[in-house]
Amino acid sequence: MDMPTSAPRAHDPETRLTPAERKLIAQLDETRTRAEVLAELHQYLQVAVEVELATIPIYLYTYYSIQRDKESGEGIDPAQAYANKAGGVIMSVAVEEMLHMSLSANVMHAMGFEPQLYGKAPKSYPAKLPFHNPKGPKGPKGQKGPKRGDKIPLARLGFEQLWRFLEIEYPEQKDATPQSKNWDTIGQLYSYVRCLIHTKFLSDADFQQGAQAKAIQPYNYSPNNVDTVYPTGKFDPWKPAPPSPPPHWADGYPGASGAAVYPSSPDSHAGETELLTIASRNDALLAIDTICDQGEGNPVPGIGPLPTDDPSKHELSHYYKFLTLQAQFDSYTGSGEALPPEPPPPPQQQPAITQDMLDDAGLVVPFPDNPTAKSYPKHLFAIANFCSACFQYMLILTETVYRVPPENQKLFFNEGLHRSMIWVLDKYIRTMREIPVGDKQGHYMGPVFENISLGKRKDSFDELAKYGIKAAEAAQRLAETTDDPKLAHAYNDIAYYAALATGKPADLAPGMQPLVDVRPYWS
């Protein structure tokens, strides 16, 4: 959905309690003690962190299966336009899931607890989200597809994988019961957390146990980036950007800025900022509201969620974003009966896309499902392992933010998390997918997100470096022995990115630095 050049800054209203929530709050007030409520709140905030964390590899794996740059702006056809849109939309959701994980972690920090991320992603895929009892959607009738309740795989872009995304983001229905364990929808899990916060046992003081200045700060989050934006269709890449794109173009295709779509809107949050630091009970409730609204849609008390997640109606919820992608597949016809009544599903989107169109154009990389390092040939084992090691170190870096002095947090975030995600892990995965696995199915290497051990947090950078050395050495050997110049280039890039993450400054190009060593913050 297009975002206007100057979107209003109004933010989501605080969600009113439903009758089911008021009933549970009264029951908790009557039957629980303060200690029990605090313990449960701690437990289910950690569950919420792990739920959000579990979705990130799922969305990133599908995102990296998409080739978004096969054609320049003038040559974009319907299949390429769809691939660009799918990539931008999926990444926009992945970015917001990172936001949701950070919001839940900030609430935990405010209560005096340290959020746990390292080693807390699913041990293997396919996986179920923690404590999830998925209720829908079932999948289209009369078609071969996933069964409701199956574990969610790491898989490339396709009609069935989008059903899995809908199962994750399935919207909470009218006055649904708040749930802790065995939850049906993410909204019901957060509804339970909301009820715990609303009990008589908690006050603002309970959310002032961790220094607000040491939480992850709002300036560390941006909803849109180069990976989320996508073009509406063909565009002239040589046309200069105008001050503001006119509504209609009379001189052929628009320039890149005129064709650009930003999937995320600046008013898609409940507090004053998207990434909210917590210092009161109301702050905690606003953080929970943002998480629910962005995933399921802006709530209408007593009716249900809307397809949009912001007051200006410029951004779709996660559920509806994925649904509009699925609605462009030709297989979508006749599948509406498997979807919930609220919000109503969109009609078939045109032009219709088929999996064969995407595959024949080389727009979806043939990744294997649910790869592990051991599932790849032995000579690629170390290359796959370093991908997992980078992912785990990124989680340790996130935990470390809460230990960094406030005046150093922005620098630490940029040199640690931003560099690990954008300049190492992103580039490393894009290079991995150029390496053929050598199996009969013609698969190429997909990213691996295993809970690989980096030892104790204070020693984790040294362990990451060991994995990096092994990956670089393996890649250099392969580069020297292959007769394929393109493949040799890919292996050399693998070695370079491993050094970029862990090497000494003297080993790197001028101006490049390795990732931040977290040892001083954990010793």
Give the residue with greater pLDDT, 469 vs 340: 469
Q: Residues for the chain: how many in total?
A: 523
% of the chain exceeding 90 in pLDDT:
63
The residues of the chain that CATH labels 1.20.1260.10 are 19-237+250-360
**Backbone phi and psi for residue 437, each to the nearest 5 degrees, phi listed first:** -75, -30
249 has a pLDDT exceeding 90 = no
Nearest Cα to Cα of residue 363 among 85, 59, 46: 85
Nearest Cα to Cα of residue 246 among 5, 513, 469, 515: 5
505 has a pLDDT exceeding 70 = no
Nearest Cα to Cα of residue 370 among 83, 161, 135: 161
For 336-370, write each residue's pLDDT tens digit: 666 777 778 888 888 999 999 999 999 999 999 99
Average pLDDT estimate for 188-204: 97
Tokens of 258: 């005129």
250 has a pLDDT exceeding 60 = no
Q: Residues 429, 433, 436, CA angle at the centre, nearest 5°?
A: 140
Buried b / exposed e over 400-414, threshold 16 CB at 10 Å, is: bbbebeeeebeebbe
Average pLDDT estimate for 449-473: 96
Cα–Cα distance for residue pair 435/351, rounded to 1 Å: 32
Q: What CATH architecture does domain 373-522 belong to? A: Up-down Bundle (1.20)
Q: Which range (172-181, 301-310, 323-332, 455-464) has the least confidence?
A: 301-310
Give the residue with greater pLDDT, 140 vs 211: 211
Q: What is the pTM of this model?
A: 0.92
Residue 475: pLDDT band (50, 70, 90) is very high
477 has a pLDDT exceeding 70 = yes
Q: What pLDDT does residue 257 have? A: 72
Mean pLDDT of the chain: 88
What is the fold of 19-237+250-360?
Ferritin (1.20.1260)
Query: What are the beta bridge partners of residue 299?
Result: 305
Question: What sections of 402-459 are H helices per DSSP?
Answer: 409-412, 426-432
